[in-house]
Structures are given as C-alpha cells and as structure tokens.
Amino acid sequence: MKKIYYLPIVVLLLVMSIKNADARAFDLPALPYAANALEPVISEQTIQLHHGKHLRAYVTNLNNLIVGTKFENLSLEEIIKQSDGAIFNNAAQLWNHTLYFALLSPKGGGEPKGKLADAIQSTWGSFENFKKDFNALAVAQFGSGWAWLVKDASGKLSIVKTNNADNPLTKGLTAILAVDVWEHAYYLDYQNRRPDYLSELWKIINWDEASKRY
Ligand code: MN
C-alpha cells in the first residue's frame, strides 16, 4: 500500500526533468567575422573582451536568472518586453549586442544604398548631416548606453539614445543601427575619446545588414 504514495512524487520528478530539458538556454551569438577583422577601428583585444567576456557574461547571467521563472520558455524579445531588473538588463544586453556585432563588418563603411539611403536623405538632407546628428546624440548619452537609428510604425526614421541596457524594442520601435557607447566598447582603443570611436565606427558599419532591417 505504501508504494502508491511515492507514485505522485516519481511522476512529479519525471515531469520536472522533462520540463527542465525543454527549458530555453540562450547561446553566445557567434561573431560574424574574426576577432581581429575590425582592426584598426576596433582592436582584437576589445572584441575578445567585449564579445568573449562582457556578452558571454550577459548570456550566462540570463540563463541562470530565468531558471524556474515564467521567462524560461519565452523568446528573447518577449523576455525583454515583460521583464525588469536583472533579467531585463541581461536579456536586453544580449539583444543589443547581437545587433551591434551584426551591424559591423570588415567590408562595411561607405554609404547606405536603396530605400534606406533615400529615407536618410529625405529626413536629414544628406548622409553627412545624419552622421553628424547621430554622433552628437551618441556623445550626449551620459554614462553607459546606446545610440540607435530607429523606424517607427509609420516608417519614419529618427535617432534615439537609451540608458544602460534599455533599447527601442520596449518603445515599439524597429532598430536599424545599434551603437554601443558603454566604455567597454571603446576604452582600450580610444580611452575617453568617445567622439573618435564614433567617427571611426562609420568605416565598418554594415549597411547591407542595416538595410535589411529597414
Ligand atoms: Mn557592450
């Protein structure tokens, strides 16, 4: 008779192990180029630390934080929209950095083409004006954060900055460009000279990738 009392526990453990096996674990997104490929704009050492240490830590933290929570089987986008605090910070930083690294390329630089180029032209008058406005806003972000080229629901482009891990996804905006202005993104290469980092970064912007997002 006693055996029967164990049955629910065995079933419960079985269900828990299956659920756990299904739980989401986010992976470190692979770099789409070699760590030294963005030199001299961004050094191999910066990429190794930024991607291999900072981003890896966000992924590890997120995976640890969501275990046993309502977030463990949600998509990254849903986690970002529904969470706050440490889960939000790590999830958003994974999303932000995935974009940032994908939007850089050793074959990048130059100017956007096609519809995105037309939209930038009609919004800012010229690509040069757009870059000037973008850099000014990115420099004005006080402390850690991000600068973005975004599109709203009507297709209108604008430049926005966000604090820390915050991003356009939470505001219903589509990110076209993502520029990390945390010091870890540039300090080894440019020290305190964020404007120099920003002006050099245009040489490696992946406009093909940005156009796909627009
Ligand atoms: Mn970063």
Per-residue burial over 37-72, b = 16 or more CB atoms within 10 Å of its CB, e = otherwise: bbbebbbeebbebbbeeebeebbebbbebbeeeebb
Mean pLDDT confidence for 177-184: 98
Within 8 A by CB and 6+ apart from 1, the residues are none
145-164 per-position pLDDT tens digit: 999 999 999 999 999 999 99
Query: From CA 143, how far away is CA 11, in angstroms rounded?
Result: 51
What is the Å distance from ligand 1's center to 54 Cα?
A: 7
What is the Å distance from ligand 1's center to 123 Cα?
A: 28
CB-based neighbours (< 5 A) of ligand 1, an ion? 180, 182, 185
**Residue whose tokens read 């790590």:** 90
Residues 101 and 32: beta-carbon distance below 8 Å: yes
What is the Å distance from ligand 1's center to 53 Cα?
A: 10
42: left (phi over 0), alpha (psi -120 to 50) or beta: beta
Q: Is residue 101's pLDDT more than 90? A: yes
What is the Å distance from ligand 1's center to 204 Cα?
A: 16
Within 8 A by CB and 6+ apart from 74, the residues are 24, 82
Mean pLDDT confidence for 5-14: 54
**Mean pLDDT score of the chain:** 93
- Amino acid, single-letter form, for residue 120: I
Give the model's pLDDT for residue 3: 56
